[in-house]
Amino acid sequence: MTPVSYPEYHPHAISRPTRGHTSPVTYVLLITVPAIVAVAALRPR
* Residue 21: other Cβ atoms inside 10 A: 10
Residue type, 34: P
> What does the mean pLDDT of the chain come to?
84
Residue 35, pLDDT above cutoff 90: yes
Angle ∠(42,44,45) on CA atoms, nearest 5: 120
8 Å CB contact between 23 and 17: yes
The residue that leads in pLDDT, 15 or 32, is 32
Distance of CA 18 to the CA centre of its chain: 13
This prediction's pTM: 0.46
Q: What pLDDT does 23 receive?
A: 86
